[in-house]
Chains A and B, each alone.
Chain A
Amino acid sequence: MPHTAVPRTAVPARAAAAVAARATDLSKVYGQGETRVVALDSVTVEFGRARFTAIMGPSGSGKSTLMHCMAGLDSVTGGSARIGDVELADLNDKQLTRLRRDRIGFIFQAFNLLPTLTALENITLPLDIAGRRPDKDWVGRVVETVGLSGRLAHRPAQLSGGQQQRVAVARALAAQPEIIFADEPTGNLDSRSGAEVLGFLRESVRAMDQTVVMVTHDPVAAGYADRVVFLADGRIVDELYEPTADAVLDRMRRFEAAGRAS
């Protein structure tokens, strides 16, 4: 098994002082008996504050499951998942919902927006749900950053796919959450729109000190991150700091080759 060769201590080595979210021995098992599938196998990982982390891995590696568990969308089987100092396993459904509402932002691959609301209404939706008054200056700045100023009154159907995804980014940023989880945010976009969206995400980390965790299988997308964590068969197998697309691709090839060899 090649991943056992990766020293575990390497993972937290460069994690800076502040940690936004942390998984410790996190396990997730689906089904029972014959149909038992271990999606996450004792994963321990930290996501640094004001960092852009990408989670990579082939299909079925558990990368989406890890994100879902960390974001309080799915329950865990064992171990601990924390946002800040909050242990998610201790929360009931209501508290989890509140946590997602107040402290987490989401960007999905598709279908991020309510078709009945305008772009602006979609952006402020989490704030409206929470009954919080949006910080006008902040929202203005976010909207300007993602370049949607002229399209705020449009409905999603009147926007291109790239524009819709930018609205989704703006929505995630508008509430100033502690951490944003993005699930294949560029999966449905052409490369130019994808680059724009990724650029905004990186910009939000640089300029706004936002924390972003992104699941992707696209090495180019991962190249925008500060750090890439590689998953295979439900375990963390490697990581890479300040990656480039080529470096990521190279690393991926190595896993695949190793996977075939094993």
Chain B
Amino acid sequence: MFRTALRNLLAHKARLMMTALAVLLGVAFVAGTLIFSDSVGEAVKNASARNLKDVAVSVQAVYGPDRPGGEGKDGKRATALDDRLADRIRALPGVAGVRSDVTGQATVAARGDGHPIGNGWQNRAANYQPGPGGDDPRYPLVRGRGPARADEVALARSTADAAGYRLGDPVRLATDGPVLTKKLVGIVASDDPAVTAGGSLTLFDTATAQRLYLHPGQFDELVVAAAPGTDQEALTAKVAALLPADRATATSGRELAAEQARRIADQNHALSQTLLTFAGIALFVGVFIIANTFTMLISQRTREIALLRAVGASRRQVVRSVLVEAGLLGLLSSAVGFGLGAGIAVGLRAVLASQGAGFPDGPVVISPSAVAASLAVGVGVTVLAAWLPSRKAARIAPVEALSTVDAPPTPRSLVFRNVLGGVLTTLGVAVMLWVSTLTGGDNLPLAMGGSMLTLIGMIVLAPLLSRPLVSLAGLVTTRLFGVGGKLAKENALRNPRRTAATGSALMIGLTLITGLTVAGHSSQLALDRMAAAGLTADYKISTSTGTGLDPQRSAAVARVPGVAATAPLRGAGYTVQGGGSGPDGGFGYVHGTDLDQIGKVTALTVTQGSLAAVRSGGIAVSETGAKEHGWRAGDTVALTFYDKKTVTVRVGAVYADNPVLGESFAGTALVDPHLDRLRDDELLVKARDGGSAALAGRIRAALGDSPLLKIQDHNDLRKETAGQIDTMVYMIYGLLGMAVVIAVVGVVNTLAMSVFERTREIGMLRAIGLSRAGVKRMVRLESVVISLFGAVLGIGVGIFLAWAGGKLVGSSFATYRMVLPWDRLGLFLLLALVVGVLAALWPARRAARLNMLEAIGAH
């Protein structure tokens, strides 16, 4: 029977091509993901191993428990690691050397326009430690020399290149406070993972670094190198014994490496999980195409199979023969798909690298497990999809070999299928209706389950739905294209299962795309509204590192010509200790601000109490906040701030919810004493005559022109939030694209099968006067009808799921409302139409080229 399977496979090469393509694409996706994540994982691991190569023990400072970030009021950390401790460690037997590291953040401004280099949160700064030879082995010099004085700096090569600095140039950079200008004296190579991942690296001399980030003589980390043959664990224990309790920890290099490997694996895992989910969707879509093909092959081969049965093949052998054929097809396609996947992995890495994702370099890693998994998935999916059709083959009776007429197979009843589909869909819809009454992200798994049920129910119901929907489309095509349109409709209706399976493949992709688009669009509009809601100021000023602005400098902004009003926002968290009718222990966040100005820069509507009561030392709370804590204007409440001090204040006012102000605000006098550092998280600026580029420039200058500054008008704010959603939506479009491509392959496949099955019909039509163009049009219209069927179902289900599930997402921001992006939905329909026309290109050409006489005589 194996030979039969092989012969069949070879005999139907052309017809199996589309099926093979579907499997191939799915497997390529899986293989690409696996190879990509293996390669990147390996490269990152190698990079960090290189980084940890000489680390035997790492001593890290533990910052004060009451100060999580470690910064004091001056913005500098205090640590217990100093030169004295470093010397004591150096004196231990087996220690070959100790590096004393200072680490911080520094943002470099580009040479021309001053825009910040790097990716914001990974802009590392460190101290350059010349060894006995004058060089720092950790940062090999490419050009120039290491920084030795306070006004000198060295940059990583990638940083200098990105910023456009050359040796000798004055480099503008900011750590936290005002802009610093230092001379570039050296350019170094660095394999620091943060740098290879797209961050920047700035090096100061040790004293300068300490002055910027710590206190003189202190360090963040002591890195101990061991002499050869020293036991790492024993040395770690010895080092630990020297450390002041609770102020520092010692970790062995091996442990650090393990921890890093674990973290990398976790990150990698999350990425590959996401990618594999989409690969799974693509393969799921492929199942429909494979099942379609085998169903058709078996019905074409009915007599052949009956003959095999007549000469003594058992049912089981027939089934096995079909499954072996599927397995061979799966194996061949998977093998080719794997090759394509390797290409995808390499391409993906290059594309992501050019987008600045910055993975470390390394070879392409093809692990045996990736090979095995890809082949197993490809073969498994193909065999699974062929399983139902193979059952059908087993039911063919030997006597059918003897029948002389080509009796059309009696269509099996759809009753069971429809009942099953009805039940599944009803269940799914019920779950989703229930979900639509819920809020909160915890219910996400429930929403996903409900969505899946609804989608699968619709897939099962698709043959039933195909009749009315295709008939409806047929009305249009018949009206527009006459008999060709009518024939197209009838052909699409002829085999509801096949039409449904083909349409379903497209439906799955479009359901996901539509759901995503609707939810994304609605969120975007909501964020749009929120970004500028409640803000009457023309500018919102903050820093890209989130470290905030120096209040003295921001006070200067009020004096900039053209500025009408400014108000700072300084946030502080608190726990409710008593007062009001709500429970104690609730968390809250209060903004300290200028109470005289806040009304000028925000749309403030006091609904209870008065601002005057807040001015005399009270606190104002939003309506939502008041409801949550059970507060009313006039209540006296006790709040404990993060510095563990408790204050008792009166609720002076309740105001209508305002996203700028958040849950509550008060005068700076109330909040300032409890802040670690006096910084303005945000500064709101109202211009006298509206904003202008010149005014923004003057404000930037008043604030010291730091590259960290973010001066955003309403438009920028909107773009910042909405842009993220756009990027995400487009990324997912790309990932779902593969599923759509496979669905299109499915449409091509179905049409090719249909044309093949109807060879004689087409020959007859040609004989009685249907032109080649007419035949083409007929096939094309059938394709369009099937595509539109899938698209309409997909868009419909997608909208429903987005409506029901959207509230879960939307509940996190009050301005969420479902809005249908009609232009995009219209575009999807149009795309389905185009897909239909494109998918029909090849089958229609084949149909039109059929030799009439052979077609009429064909059996």
B768 to A, closest residue via Cβ: A126
Q: Interface-forming stretch among A79-87, A92-100, A232-240?
A: A92-100
Q: Interface-forming stretch among A8-16, A42-50, A112-120?
A: A112-120
Q: Is the CB of A93 within 8 A of B769?
A: no
Task: Give A111 to B482 CA distance when docked, in angstroms.
Answer: 23
| With known contacts A73-B853, A116-B487, A97–B761 Cβ distance under 8 A | no
A residues in contact with B714, CB < 8 Å: none
Chain A: minimal CB distance from B765 (Å):
8
Task: Give A19 to B419 CA distance when docked, in angstroms.
Answer: 64
Q: Interface-forming stretch among B189-197, B488-496, B546-554, B694-702?
A: B488-496
| With known contacts A111-B761, A116-B491, A125–B483 Cβ distance under 8 A | yes
B540 within 8 A of A: no
Q: Is the CB of B764 within 8 A of A108?
A: yes
Give the residues from 472 to 492 in chain B that come closer than 8 angstroms, CB to CB, to chain A: 482-484, 486-487, 490-491
A97 to B, closest residue via Cβ: B771
B residues in contact with A68, CB < 8 Å: 853
B491 to A, closest residue via Cβ: A116
A114 to B, closest residue via Cβ: B761
B774 within 8 A of A: yes
Task: Give A129 to B408 CA distance when docked, in angstroms.
Answer: 26
Q: Is the CB of A129 within 8 A of B774?
A: yes
Task: Give A68 to B851 CA distance when docked, in angstroms.
Answer: 13
Give the residues from 745 to 784 in chain B that come closer than 8 angstroms, CB to CB, to chain A: 760-761, 764-772, 774
B residues in contact with A125, CB < 8 Å: 483, 768
Q: Is the CB of B769 within 8 A of A117?
A: no
Q: Is the CB of B767 within 8 A of A115?
A: no
Interface size of B as a range: 20 to 34
A91 within 8 A of B: no
Q: Is the CB of A114 within 8 A of B771?
A: no
A130 within 8 A of B: yes
B residues in contact with A126, CB < 8 Å: 768-769
B residues in contact with A104, CB < 8 Å: 769
Q: Is the CB of A97 within 8 A of B770?
A: yes
Give the residues from 767 to 821 in chain B that come closer than 8 angstroms, CB to CB, to chain A: 767-772, 774
A residues in contact with B765, CB < 8 Å: 114, 129
Give the residues from 395 to 412 in chain B that come closer than 8 angstroms, CB to CB, to chain A: 408
A246 within 8 A of B: no
A74 within 8 A of B: yes
A74 to B, closest residue via Cβ: B853
Give the residues from 154 to 196 in chain B that come closer than 8 angstroms, CB to CB, to chain A: none
| With known contacts A73-B852, A129-B774, A157-B408, A111–B760 Cβ distance under 8 A | yes
A144 within 8 A of B: no
B residues in contact with A71, CB < 8 Å: 767
Q: Is the CB of A129 within 8 A of B483?
A: yes
Give the residues from 189 to 226 in chain A that come closer than 8 angstroms, CB to CB, to chain B: none
A residues in contact with B483, CB < 8 Å: 125, 128-129
A2 within 8 A of B: no
Give the residues from 712 to 770 in chain B that come closer than 8 angstroms, CB to CB, to chain A: 760-761, 764-770
A residues in contact with B768, CB < 8 Å: 100-101, 105-106, 125-126, 129, 171
Q: Which of A73, A128, A157 contacts B767 (CB 8 A)?
A: A73
B148 within 8 A of A: no
A131 within 8 A of B: yes
Q: Is the CB of B408 within 8 A of A112?
A: no
Q: Is the CB of B487 within 8 A of A114?
A: yes
Q: Which of B482, B769, B770 contacts A102 (CB 8 A)?
A: B769
Task: Give A178 to B482 CA distance when docked, in angstroms.
Answer: 25
B856 within 8 A of A: yes
Q: Is the CB of A106 within 8 A of B767?
A: yes
Give the residues from 690 to 711 in chain B that come closer than 8 angstroms, CB to CB, to chain A: none
Chain A: minimal CB distance from B768 (Å):
5
Q: Is the CB of B494 within 8 A of A116?
A: yes
Q: Is the CB of B856 within 8 A of A111?
A: yes
Chain A: minimal CB distance from B33 (Å):
44
Interface centre among A74, A108, A171 (most CB of B within 10 A): A108
B residues in contact with A102, CB < 8 Å: 769
A residues in contact with B771, CB < 8 Å: 94, 97-98, 101
B residues in contact with A73, CB < 8 Å: 767, 852-853
A residues in contact with B761, CB < 8 Å: 111, 114-115
| With known contacts A111-B856, A116-B494, A129-B774, A97–B487 Cβ distance under 8 A | no
Give the residues from 254 to 304 in chain B that come closer than 8 angstroms, CB to CB, to chain A: none
B residues in contact with A171, CB < 8 Å: 768
A residues in contact with B856, CB < 8 Å: 108, 111
| With known contacts A117-B490, A129-B483, A97–B853 Cβ distance under 8 A | no
Task: Give A125 to B774 CA distance when docked, in angstroms.
Answer: 13
Task: Give A105 to B774 CA distance when docked, in angstroms.
Answer: 18
Q: Is the CB of B490 within 8 A of A116?
A: yes
Q: Which of B493, B767, B853 contacts A100 (CB 8 A)?
A: B767
| With known contacts A74-B853, A108-B856, A114-B761, A97–B490 Cβ distance under 8 A | no
B residues in contact with A97, CB < 8 Å: 766, 769-772
Task: Give A100 to B768 CA distance when docked, in angstroms.
Answer: 6
B residues in contact with A94, CB < 8 Å: 771-772
| With known contacts A98-B771, A129-B770, A112–B482 Cβ distance under 8 A | no
Task: Give A112 to B768 CA distance when docked, in angstroms.
Answer: 10
Q: Which of A100, A101, A115, A131 contacts B482 (CB 8 A)?
A: A131
B residues in contact with A129, CB < 8 Å: 483-484, 765, 768-770, 774
Give the residues from 108 to 153 in chain A that come closer than 8 angstroms, CB to CB, to chain B: 108, 111-112, 114-117, 125-126, 128-131
B residues in contact with A106, CB < 8 Å: 764, 767-768
Q: Is the CB of B493 within 8 A of A116?
A: yes
A residues in contact with B760, CB < 8 Å: 111
Task: Give A240 to B769 CA distance when docked, in angstroms.
Answer: 32
Q: Is the CB of A100 within 8 A of B408?
A: no
B407 to A, closest residue via Cβ: A157
A residues in contact with B482, CB < 8 Å: 128, 131
A residues in contact with B772, CB < 8 Å: 93-94, 97
Give the residues from 637 to 658 in chain B that come closer than 8 angstroms, CB to CB, to chain A: none
A residues in contact with B490, CB < 8 Å: 114, 116-117
A residues in contact with B494, CB < 8 Å: 115-116
Task: Give A68 to B766 CA distance when docked, in angstroms.
Answer: 13
Chain B: minimal CB distance from A125 (Å):
7
Task: Give A114 to B487 CA distance when docked, in angstroms.
Answer: 9
B490 to A, closest residue via Cβ: A116
Chain A: minimal CB distance from B758 (Å):
9
| With known contacts A97-B771, A126-B769, A128-B482, A111–B487 Cβ distance under 8 A | no
A residues in contact with B484, CB < 8 Å: 129
Q: Which residues of A contact B (CB under 8 A)?
A: 68, 71, 73-74, 93-94, 97-98, 100-102, 104-106, 108, 111-112, 114-117, 125-126, 128-131, 157, 171
In the A-B complex, the 4 residue pairs with the closest CB atoms? A101-B769, A116-B490, A128-B483, A97-B771
A–B complex contacts, Cβ < 8 Å, 9 sampled: A97-B770, A98-B771, A104-B769, A115-B408, A116-B487, A125-B483, A129-B769, A129-B770, A171-B768
Given A105-B768, A117-B487, list of 18 further CB < 8 A pairs? A93-B772, A94-B771, A97-B770, A97-B772, A98-B769, A100-B767, A100-B769, A101-B770, A101-B771, A102-B769, A111-B856, A114-B761, A115-B408, A115-B494, A125-B483, A128-B483, A129-B484, A129-B774
